Structure 1
Amino acid sequence: MSFNKYASIHSVIMKKSLHLQLYIRKMTKKLFIFLTFTFCILSDSLAGYRTETFNDAYKSLQVKVYGIDMSEPTIFLDSDDRIEISFDEMSRTPRDLVYFVEHCSALWESSELDKIDYLEGFDQQDVTDYEYARNTTFDYTHYSLLLPNDDVKMTLSGNYVVKIADREKPDSVLLTACFCVAERLVDIDAEVKSNTMYGINTKYQQVNLELGFDKLGVTPSDRELITVVRQNVRWDNAAYLNIPNFTRANTLIWENDEKLLFDAGNEWQKIDFSDKINYNGDIRRIQFHRPYYHVEVMPGFYPAKPDYEWFEDQDGRYKIHGQNITSYYDIDYSIVHFAYKTDWEWPDGFVFVAGDFNHGYLNERNLMKWNNERKQYELDIVLKNGGYNFQYVFLPNGERKASPDRLTISHWQTENEYYIYVYYKRLGERYYRLIGSKKIKNK
């Protein structure tokens, strides 16, 4: 064999070897990203029940206090308030749906109580309130139900999950809706401060908390109490407390506790496409490409602007509404296009579009994908027309808590809501009572 022929064969082998190495590296990276993201999702799912749909045919799942838009789904046991659960199935063929109500622990796992312990009435009930969409480009059927009602009433405080399924397949749950029923047995005194262990007026907010138990008649021990503090609609950075910093008489005190130190973040971005002509917020344009409307959101840019700018937002929530439309089943859907521009793809984590439209969670439904040609992360979501708050957030590999530092600048002035839930399980009892709930704001 001549030297030239040998060299030619060697060159081909080396090129193929190089291509194989590059392919292996590429596939290894993809496998790593897939396993890391799957781990994050599975870790998140271990937290118990949550408000979510298990089929893409179900959209716009909302759980709120009846008659109060954008409200936290919490009612008091001694009140006449009711919880409203509503959703759309993207079909004009209605299903024979049924719902089941289950009591949960403070961590949203089943309390494993008998139905008779926490329900008055019969558990398996039909979802009878539904309407067909009218004059919309998307076909759908709108469902809703109220709790308590003439058939079912909750008799204990605590966390509850409603499971909705097809009557013919009651074990195959289509969606779950979570809400709380609270008592008024604890005095909750809380404040938000910018004076933290990391300095004054930095990028953090410190929540200080006092719980008074005079009404309960006993001060719970560390083993009997779980207090949960959430920032806005988020669950990834929720704080879970049981051991206080100080105790005074019947009062437990958390002061400058590191678990209650939150990144302040930034104000939420907003879009409102309830009117296809007079739209507002961060929308570049709305166009009709048969058969649907498309909403193009103005892209986010890296790096973020360093200066703080206040504007009124809804702290991550959204409101479904249409111009001169009063019925939910007359409101159309649109395909909303999000984009976040940067010069490169980040290998150390994931980018999401976050907000209450995805119930505050980070999963495959609001995960943005990298477009190397356009040098941007992209996500297309089908959303019902209305006004929405959203944020671009970064989730580092292997973490469950999103970081604001990559995509935005965190400012201590940012207006945030904090939700406080106090759960009590007396030694010997089988379930957690929700003995108090409160919302506070830093402004």
Structure 2
Amino acid sequence: MAFSRCLAALCLLWLFVAGRAEVTDTSQAIFDPAFRSLKVTLDANEFAPPVITLGDPLSRLTVSFDELGDERRFMRYELIHCDAFWQPEGLVASEFLDGFNEGEVEDYEFSRATLVHYVHYSITIPNREIRITETGNYLLRVYDESNPDETLLQARFGVSDFSAGVYAGVTSLTDIDTNRNHQQLGLTVDLQHAAGIDDPFNDLRIVVSQNGRADNEVVLTAPQRVLGDRVIYEHLRPLIFKAGNEYRRFETVSTSYPGMGVENISADTPIYNMWLYTDSPRGAIPYSYDSTQHGRFFVRESSSSRSDTEADYVMVHFGLEMPEIAGADVFLDGDFVQRRFDPVSRMVYNRATGRYENSMMLKQGAYNYQYLTVPSGSLQGETAPVEGDFYQTVNEYTVRVYYRPRGGRFDRLIGVGMIVSGN
């Protein structure tokens, strides 16, 4: 009976996804290479999910980024309301906000005492021009005033009324193995304070992400059962995740001495170079706990209290020593590459050194990263080939609950929950 329920849920999920319209790229991304260090932060809490509480004047979100160079660029931004899959819903601005749907990027500061010059920009939502009136997913698109059709970068965030409670548990006793390579979630959505939801089997969508990754995100369109106000999702195969491994870490907070994970520093060029210790596969090594930021990065300069404008940019060199993997690419994963599989995050195999290599200019700080292997023709990264999968891994799962009644024009975000495995 349990298997039949799981199969039915999977079929519903496949039918729903197969019927979607052509996908627009609405991932969080930087499209202009002059821009760096895109971050979305809620109430100055770098660990909180980027979800504003609707109607709370103290709930504010900041989108920040840098542009390399000495001159301020005149830019504007706009908000786009998106569905649970982050596709634009075609709403007019008056349907989801008061005020204007766009604004000027006004807050900026020039870098101070850095080898690499840059301008630091920030946008705060809500503000005097934009007041959001509906829950849901939002895409913030930034563009040059002189060329509004070309997107420079875009950031994702959510707005919720938190009318639905989210309760979740994580176990390594999964429906496919026990204390081996996977973790399984069980979810309960409490609709006691969410008025008007008469058909949770058809009107709710649940989205579950692991450590902020989008490539292995799971969408549920039907619960296992409903008991009164409680909507239950248990023993569903889509809620079984490969456990992965703890994120790797490095720190570039000082240019005077090597930080964590840094083997060597060189300042003989116009930019500091930092070579990380050469990495190697960890799948055959016993699991070892390490403090984790779940893929985040924090801008920090050890001698400054104004890291946003006084942290320098350094060239960071990554190396992964292992045989080349046939039929697949290896990518860096973490917030610092916006979780995208693209040329910026791709590791290039150097047959002369027997290593995958990548170099990129990053702002001083503390970074989490891992290596994901993406088979040819696939859009999903695998942890097993380089990092391994260990049931003990501390993973952060975020659950988002969306509601759209029959005939509704958009997806409402009515609940958000976060759970860390092992806690």
Fold conserved (TM > 0.5)? yes
**Residue of structure 2 equivalent to 1:28:** none
Q: Check the 8 A contact 1:266/1:408 in 2, yes or no.
A: yes
Q: Check the 8 A contact 1:209/1:253 in 2, yes or no.
A: yes
Q: Check the 8 A contact 2:396/2:419 in 1, yes or no.
A: yes
Q: Does 1:341 align with 2:321?
A: yes
Q: Does 1:237 align with 2:216?
A: yes
Q: Does 1:57 align with 2:6?
A: no
Instruction: Give distance in 1, aligned partners of 2:235 and 2:282.
Output: 31
What is the DSSP-based 3-state SS (H/G/I as helix, E as strand, rest coil) of the residue aligned with 1:55?
Answer: coil
Amino acid corresponding to residue 423 of structure 1 in structure 2: Y
Instruction: Give distance in 1, aligned partners of 2:50 and 2:320.
Output: 32
Q: CA deviation at 1:424?
A: 0.4
Q: Check the 8 A contact 1:191/1:207 in 2, yes or no.
A: yes
Change beyond 3 A, Cα 1:62–1:417: same
Q: Check the 8 A contact 2:282/2:388 in 1, yes or no.
A: no
Q: Does 1:156 align with 2:134?
A: yes
Q: CA deviation at 1:278?
A: 4.3
Q: Check the 8 A contact 1:219/1:251 in 2, yes or no.
A: no
Count of aligned positions: 398
Change beyond 3 A, Cα 1:370–1:330: same
Per-residue CA deviations over 1:195-243 (Å, capped at 9, x if unaligned) read 0112321110000011121212334343322110000121111110011
Instruction: Give distance in 1, aligned partners of 2:301 and 2:198.
Output: 49
**Residue of structure 1 equivalent to 2:111:** 133
Instruction: Give distance in 1, aligned partners of 2:221 and 2:324.
Output: 40
What is the DSSP-based 3-state SS (H/G/I as helix, E as strand, rest coil) of the residue aligned with 1:357?
Answer: helix
Q: Does 1:184 align with 2:184?
A: no
Instruction: Give distance in 2, aligned partners of 1:47 and 1:224.
Output: 24
Instruction: Give distance in 2, aligned partners of 1:72 and 1:286.
Output: 34
Amino acid corresponding to residue 364 of structure 1 in structure 2: P
- The structure 2 residue matched to 1:375, chosen from 342, 354, 365, is 354
Q: Which has the larger radius of gyration?
A: 1
Q: CA deviation at 1:73?
A: 1.1
**Residue of structure 1 equivalent to 2:77:** 99
Instruction: Give distance in 1, aligned partners of 2:312 and 2:395.
Output: 31
Q: Does 1:362 align with 2:341?
A: yes
Per-residue CA deviations over 1:363-419 (Å, capped at 9, x if unaligned) read 221000011111111000110000000011211111121111111221111101000
Instruction: Give distance in 1, aligned partners of 2:396 and 2:258.
Output: 27
Amino acid corresponding to residue 83 of structure 1 in structure 2: L
C-alpha RMSD of the superposition = 1.5
Instruction: Give distance in 1, aligned partners of 2:401 and 2:282.
Output: 39
What is the DSSP-based 3-state SS (H/G/I as helix, E as strand, rest coil) of the residue aligned with 2:94?
Answer: helix
**Residue of structure 2 equivalent to 1:9:** none
Instruction: Give distance in 2, aligned partners of 1:108 and 1:193.
Output: 29
**Residue of structure 2 equivalent to 1:248:** 227
Q: Does 1:295 align with 2:277?
A: no
Q: Check the 8 A contact 1:332/1:384 in 2, yes or no.
A: yes
Q: Does 1:330 align with 2:310?
A: yes
Amino acid corresponding to residue 353 of structure 2 in structure 1: R
Change beyond 3 A, Cα 1:185–1:219: farther
Instruction: Give distance in 1, aligned partners of 2:418 and 2:45.
Output: 15
User: After the TM superposition, which parts of structure 1 deviate over 4 Å for at least 4 consecutive aligned residues?
Assistant: none
Q: Check the 8 A contact 2:252/2:365 in 1, yes or no.
A: yes
Q: CA deviation at 1:304?
A: 4.1
Residue identity (%): 30
What is the DSSP-based 3-state SS (H/G/I as helix, E as strand, rest coil) of the residue aligned with 1:61?
Answer: strand
TM-score (norm 1): 0.87
Amino acid corresponding to residue 33 of structure 2 in structure 1: D
Q: Check the 8 A contact 1:194/1:202 in 2, yes or no.
A: yes
Change beyond 3 A, Cα 1:253–1:318: same
What is the DSSP-based 3-state SS (H/G/I as helix, E as strand, rest coil) of the residue aligned with 2:326?
Answer: coil
Q: Does 1:174 align with 2:163?
A: no
What is the DSSP-based 3-state SS (H/G/I as helix, E as strand, rest coil) of the residue aligned with 2:346?
Answer: coil
Amino acid corresponding to residue 122 of structure 1 in structure 2: F
Report matched runs for 1:257-406 at 5 Å. 257-302=236-281, 304-327=283-306, 328-342=308-322, 344-406=323-385
Per-residue CA deviations over 1:128-155 (Å, capped at 9, x if unaligned) read 1111111111121111110001111111
Instruction: Give distance in 2, aligned partners of 1:234 and 1:417.
Output: 10
Q: CA deviation at 1:49?
A: 1.1
Q: Does 1:228 align with 2:228?
A: no
Amino acid corresponding to residue 294 of structure 1 in structure 2: N
Q: Check the 8 A contact 2:253/2:259 in 1, yes or no.
A: no
Please state which structure has a larger fraction of its residues in helix: 1
Q: CA deviation at 1:276?
A: 2.2
What is the DSSP-based 3-state SS (H/G/I as helix, E as strand, rest coil) of the residue aligned with 1:100?
Answer: strand
Q: Does 1:430 align with 2:400?
A: no
Amino acid corresponding to residue 431 of structure 1 in structure 2: F
What is the DSSP-based 3-state SS (H/G/I as helix, E as strand, rest coil) of the residue aligned with 1:362?
Answer: coil
Q: Check the 8 A contact 2:142/2:152 in 1, yes or no.
A: yes
Instruction: Give distance in 2, aligned partners of 1:359 and 1:441.
Output: 21
Instruction: Give distance in 2, aligned partners of 1:171 and 1:115.
Output: 18
Instruction: Give distance in 1, aligned partners of 2:379 and 2:151.
Output: 25
Q: CA deviation at 1:286?
A: 1.6
Q: Check the 8 A contact 2:283/2:389 in 1, yes or no.
A: no
Q: Check the 8 A contact 2:162/2:415 in 1, yes or no.
A: yes
Instruction: Give distance in 2, aligned partners of 1:70 and 1:97.
Output: 28
Q: Which runs of 5 or more residues in structure 2 are unaligned?
A: 1-21
TM-score (norm 2): 0.91
**Residue of structure 2 equivalent to 1:410:** 389
- The structure 2 residue matched to 1:165, chosen from 118, 124, 143, is 143
Q: Check the 8 A contact 2:137/2:158 in 1, yes or no.
A: yes
Q: CA deviation at 1:70?
A: 4.0
Instruction: Give distance in 2, aligned partners of 1:75 and 1:279.
Output: 38
Change beyond 3 A, Cα 1:250–1:303: closer
